[in-house]
Amino acid sequence: MLDLFSDTPPWQEPLAPGAVVLRRFARERAPALLQAIADVASQSPFRQMVTPGGYTMSVAMTNCGALGWTTDRQGYLYAPVDPVTDQTWPPMPAVFHELALAAAAAGGYPEFSPDACLINRYCPGAKLSLHQDKR
């Protein structure tokens, strides 16, 4: 079993062409990532979104970047404005952008450039089943 706190160096696990697990890839950036999450959440707080069917999701979410993932009565969508604050989503922190660029390059996608970031917070008891978002 993997130990989250061991000093094992990062490694890659290829799954299929174009798909790789980057084990421990973000570990060195963890303190900066956690601070950036707190900064984003101070501007656009975590919230439990309501599905189009009226169910409250157990996972708490927020977003940053040009677009944020959200829900409305018609379905799921990426929107430029946070429906809770009625403001644009916070800018994507540099540490997120740099990590996404590095991970994409390590996974074989050097041309990728992130423009949106969904942040999920799983408190004890929260769950998110395998699904596909559709509008």
Render pLDDT for 78-120 as a digit per residue (tens, 0 to 9): 999 999 999 999 999 999 999 999 999 999 999 999 999 999 9
Q: Can you tell me the distance from the alpha carbon of 134 to that of 13, in angstroms, rounded to the nearest whole number? A: 29
Contacts of 125 (CB under 8 A, 6+ apart): 58
For the entire predicted model, the pTM comes to: 0.86
Q: Where are the chain's structural domains?
A: 20-121
Summarize the confidence of residues 62-86 as an average pLDDT: 94
Residue located via tokens 């644009």: 88
DSSP assignment of 77-119: EEESB-TTTSSBPPPPPHHHHHHHHHHHHHTT-TT----EEEE
| DSSP-assigned letter for residue 53 | T
> What CATH number labels 20-121?
2.60.120.590
